[in-house]
Structure 1
Amino acid sequence: MTRPVPALPSPGVTASGSGARLLAGWYATGRPDALVDHLRRHGPLPAQPSLVEAVEAAGLTGRGGAAFPAGRKLRSVAARARRAVVVVNAMESEPASRKDAVLLAVAPHLVLDGAVLAAGAVDADVVHVCVSRARPAQFRRLAAALGERRRARLDPVRLRLHALPHAYVSSESTSLVRWLDGGPARPRGTPPRSHEHGVGRRPTLVHNAETLAHVALIARHGPAWFRGAGTCEEPGTVLVTVSGAVAAPGVLESAPGVPVALLLDRAGGAARAPQAVLLGGFAGGWLPASALDTPFTRRDLAPWGASPGAGVLVVLPEGACGLAETARMLAYLAAQSARQCGPCRLGLPAVAGDFAALAAGRADPELPARLHRRTALLPDRGACRHPDGAARLAASALRTFADDAGRHLAGFPCAGARRPATTAVPPAVPPETWR
């Protein structure tokens, strides 16, 4: 099981769990919540006739990475005035993220409560819970949690659990809809959007697991309580996965607005002097070590070309090669494309190849201009947002590691380029298996 910081069984670094909301049960007991624990802590499902308005007033945004207003998405589905479908996106295909896995392990009923409450708000009669086939233990634990709820006759809607192919783009919302309709787990073009014609051509609400857990707490405690943490623009708490060169890698819960450096301290501090931090995961951006006092918010990180994304921080130590690390990630992203459009079939492999040449120190005077040109062509041209994330990562690396890039282009790659990877890059899953 992926664990909160620092590891089971001790709640650890954030000692008393002060400020924890989603992980409050874990910090209080050091064990996952069974249904009886969940009901003792949170009580039964509340009657919440104005859930959409409450979520809008709370200012909750999606925790899957895009940060779309959760209340607006709820309202869009509810406005269709037809029987809807709710999909819990617990795929977590971002390689550097473990937050949803931790949340579902220690507080599964909070996520399921949020899904059931959302179903009531949008007039849905079924909730599809989507997890990755690559995590069979997670599937078994969730199946057990659903069994507890069925025996308790807790839910007024059907909850169905599914194990989907594990690929980077299989967690995209239209990939889930397409798979649930019997197709491959690949993004489909829009329009129509899922809230208009989703599963079975019905209005479909797709929310990340963490987002729905927040919905369950907002329904119980109200918008003002939710806004008691975080900032005015980004209220509430977020789950953050911290990995790389830190003493105690894991998942922690924090309010937006704290400095990035403080998040690293809560993960035991840097194990080696940091050179940069990757924010947002493989589709994110690099923050140089000189900027670690930047608050962990979208607004404050935007000038650096970064964002919290799905709550991912990967610490790159001094001595590692940021260009080589980025090249490995870009190669993975290129291999994980759905290959349904030009930017994915042609653009991503070209950028990944250019970056591999840069990381290897191949002297090519045309490489910088070509790489900048190709990177600029990727965003907003694909059938989904997969090329946009790769372009963001590449552009960020060129800025953050500009001095290193100059030396590499001169034929003098840094010693770190020949060292083992600091950031774990999983093997790619071929698209023909995405069914």
Structure 2
Amino acid sequence: MSSTVAVANIGGPRLTLGFDRFDRLDLDRHLAVHGKLRVPALDDLVRMAEQVDLRGRGGAGFPFARKLMAVAARVNYPTSDQDVLLPGEKRDARGSSEDVVVVVNAAEGEPGSSKDKVLLGRAPHLVLDGAQIAASALGTQRIVVAVEDDEAARSVRAAIGERRMAARVVRLTERFISGESGAVVRAINGETPIPPGVKVRAAESGVDGYPTLLSNTETFAQLAVLVSLGPDLYASAGTDDEPGTTLLTVGGTKVVEAPLGTSLRAVLDLCDVPPVPGVLVGGYHGIWLDPVAASRAVLSRAGMRAVGGTVGAGIVLPLAQGTCPLGEVTRIASYLAAQSAGQCGPCRLGLPDVVRTLNALSDGSGTVEDVRRAAGIGRGRGACTHPDGTAKFVLSAVDAFTDDIDVHRYGGTCGQPTFGVLPLPVPTGEEGRVAIDWSRCDGHGLCAYLVPELIQLDRYGFPVVLGTDIPSWMERDVQRAVAMCPALALRVTGGLPGSPARRS
């Protein structure tokens, strides 16, 4: 993947330094470009991260120094006055620093994001430098790289071998929710890779139950650049309040490194993007900007807040002219509904309801108020952030595409096809969908009782099927519904594993 993604920069490269000369920086090239690894003490590293307000680049933007301190607070660090215990003294009950785990979260489940794959594929040693800096400062050698992409996994394994370090690579299942920190920890621990459903801080109990420093791939690369340049030189790019550069994935096909404070329009111009009906910033849990907001947007936390947007995980998806905006939004909402972990009502029932209201809005039978109601019901009540993020995506679309929605409401269509320009994973052939054989269906309604997430009844008692892929957590329920249909009218199209032979 990373080898096919174009890379560019504005104002000079840092993370992408050397990309103009080398497809991949092996250890010798990395040392020639970035210099020898330097490892500050923990206090110095915290001070440097605080001085430039280094934030996580995975979407949440959490201060990195606070993560370091949270992990450090859970363990003992050997010092000279701890070597000898006086009679009657006992060591603190906290764990040893050697048990701390540093996790590079390269679970880039967002279909529109490629920046972490590019970093691991082309500059793996920069990421490992950052991880080793953090691990050494915390007094541990335990480093785990959690990665989904095959090419990125091969690249980082080769880099680990070159360095002769003890880090290990853990492969993750490629799903939208797999990058959530709790899901990553569960995957490394050999558990089902879904969010845990309750808030568990990795700094307190992460990999194997030990304090864990978990951060995004780019964050560790930024840490390595910060230590290499020093805070003053690092802050020579970006703004006074938000120093440094950031990586953006534009349109799913191009990675751009730009100083924080760069206008969004400058990035779009660099990528030859003409004026468009809207721009999605922050990915599929992000915010839609209308053309006016997009023209004023600045790539920083403050700059995006000013226009109601977000930098998020650095994903920028312009919506091309000629495709139906509402159709594209409905298509992505259907994907997000199928990507849930199915742990709570807001995901199991709430997200399918959002898709139904969007479908109704598209054909002119629904209203914006219906969409707002469906999107608002589960907000703040989910087992993870997936329903909230999806609601944010949908509600911002309702605000950004008012003209298109009005045309749909009065005409049942805007007259434009849905080209599918927003990126989604390439189908593997294993996806399944529920279908009805209308020559057999007698309207018994049992299917809607068994799988209400996918099927509801219309006012005449006949099933209305939600056109989404069957989530993995629903496979058994769907198989049961197919087997129990009295008229043998319910089918599964596609490749649902283990479903009965009654498939089209």
Report the equivalent of 1:142: 156
1:59-74 to structure 2, matched below 5 A, reads: 59-74=53-68
Please give the alpha-carbon distance, in whole angstroms, between the structure 2 residues aligned to 1:303 and 1:339: 35
Alignment of 1:84-99 (within 5 A): 84-99=100-115
Matches of 1:77 and 1:26, distance apart in 2: 34
Unaligned runs of 5+ in 2: 76-94, 428-468, 475-504
Alignment correspondent of 2:262: 258
2:36 pairs with 1:44: yes
Q: Within 1, Cα distance between the matches of 2:266 and 2:5?
A: 14
Preserved CA contact (<8 Å) 2:2 2:151: no
Find the counterpart in structure 2 of residue 10 from structure 1: none
Structure with the larger RCO, 1 or 2 (CA within 8 Å, 6+ apart): 1
Residue 424 of structure 1 corresponds to 423
| Distance in 2, Cα, partners of 1:59 & 1:138 | 28
Q: 1:312 aligns with which of 312, 315, 319?
A: 315
Verify the 8 A CA contact 2:279 2:291 in the aligned structure 1. Answer: yes
1:228 is aligned, of 236, 239, 246, to: 236
Aligned to 1:33, which of 25, 44, 66?
25
1:101 aligns with 2:109: no
Identity of paired residues, percent? 41
Mean Cα deviation higher: 391-400 or 46-55: 46-55
Tell me if 1:20 matches 2:13. Answer: yes
Which whole-Å CA distance do the structure 1 matches of 2:360 and 2:114 have between them? 31
Cα 1:4–1:304 shift into 2, 3 Å: farther
Query: What is the distance in 2 between the residues matched to 1:423 and 1:370?
Result: 24
Residue 315 of structure 1: SS of its match in structure 2?
strand
| Residue matched to 2:438 | none
Rounded to whole Å, the distance in 1 between the matches of 2:11 and 2:266 is 15
The question of whether the paired residues in 1 share the 8 Å contact of 2:52 and 2:242 is answered with no
Q: Structure 2 CA distance, aligned partners of 1:345 and 1:430?
A: 10
1:26-425 pair list within 5 angstroms: 26-27=19-20, 29-49=21-41, 50-81=44-75, 82=95, 83-132=99-148, 135-150=149-164, 155=165, 158-243=166-251, 249-267=253-271, 269-270=272-273, 272-291=274-293, 292-359=295-362, 361-364=363-366, 367-416=367-416, 418-425=417-424
- Structure 1: give runs of 5+ residues left out of the alignment: 8-12
Distance 1:303 1:370, change over 3 A: farther
**CA 381–110 in structure 1, closer or farther in 2 if over 3 Å, else same:** same
2:177, 2:386 within 8 Å by CA — same for their partners in 1?
yes
User: Quick one: which amino acid aligns to residue 342 of structure 1?
Assistant: G
CA distance in 1, matches of 2:298, 2:23: 31
Q: Could you say if the C-alpha distance between residues 5 and 339 of structure 1 is closer, same or farther in structure 2, counting changes exceeding 3 Å?
A: closer
Shift of 1:5: 7.0
Instruction: Report the residue type matching 2:264 in the other structure.
Output: V
Aligned amino acid, residue 67 of structure 1: G
What's the offset of the Cα at 1:18? 4.1
AA at the equivalent of 1:78: A
1:14-47: CA deviations, max 9, x gaps? 5xx74210001213x1431100111122222213
Over aligned residue pairs, what C-alpha RMSD do you find? 2.1
Cα distance in 1, alignment partners of residues 154 and 200 from structure 2: 34
Amino acid at match of 2:257: E
* In structure 1, C-alpha distance between the alignment counterparts of 2:184 and 2:23, rounded to whole Å: 31
Cα distance, 1:430 vs structure 2? 4.2
Shift of the 205–429 alpha-carbon distance from structure 1 to 2, 3 Å rule, reads farther
CA distance in 2 between counterparts of 1:431 and 1:212 reads: 32
Counterparts of 1:387 and 1:232, CA distance in 2: 35
How many residues in Structure 1 have an aligned counterpart in Structure 2?
A: 408
How far residue 278 of structure 1 moved from its aligned partner, in angstroms, is 1.0
Q: Match of 2:18, as an amino acid? A: G
Shift of 1:378: 2.9
Deviation at 1:70, TM superposition (A): 1.1
Moved over 6 A (4+): none
User: How much has 1:405 moved relative to structure 2?
Assistant: 1.3
| AA in 1 matched with 2:409 | L
Deviation at 1:357, TM superposition (A): 2.2
Conservation of the 8 A alpha-carbon contact between 1:259 and 1:293: yes
Which is further off, 320-329 or 202-211? 320-329
The alpha-carbon distance between structure 1 residues 343 and 378, as it changes in their structure 2 partners (threshold 3 A), is same
Letter in 2 for 1:44: K
The answer as to whether partners of 1:305 and 1:396 remain within 8 angstroms in 2 is no
**Is 1:363–1:408's contact at 8 Å kept on the other side of the alignment?**
no
Is the 8 Å Cα contact of residues 17 and 33 (structure 2) preserved in structure 1?
Answer: no
Q: Distance in 2 between matches of 1:288 and 1:376?
A: 22
Instruction: Give the Cα–Cα distance (whole angstroms) in 1 for the partners of residues 310 and 212 of structure 2.
Output: 27
Q: Please say which of residues 230-239 and 203-212 is displaced more in the overlay.
A: 230-239
Give the Å deviation of 1:320.
1.9
Contact 1:230 1:236 in 2 (8 A): yes
How far the C-alpha of 1:257 sits from its partner, in A, is 1.2
Distance 1:303 1:404 in 2: 25
Tell me how far 1:421 sits from its aligned partner: 1.2
Secondary structure of 1:351's counterpart equals: helix
- For residue 424 of structure 2, what is the amino acid of its counterpart? V
Query: How far apart are the structure 2 equivalents of 1:395 and 1:191?
Result: 26
Distance of 1:393 and 1:53 partners within structure 2: 36
Bigger Cα displacement from structure 2, 171-180 vs 229-238: 229-238
CA spacing shift, 1:412–1:98, aligned 2, 3 Å: same
Deviation at 1:169, TM superposition (A): 0.6
Question: 1:239-261 deviations in whole A, cap 9, x for unaligned?
Answer: 111117xxxx4101001211111
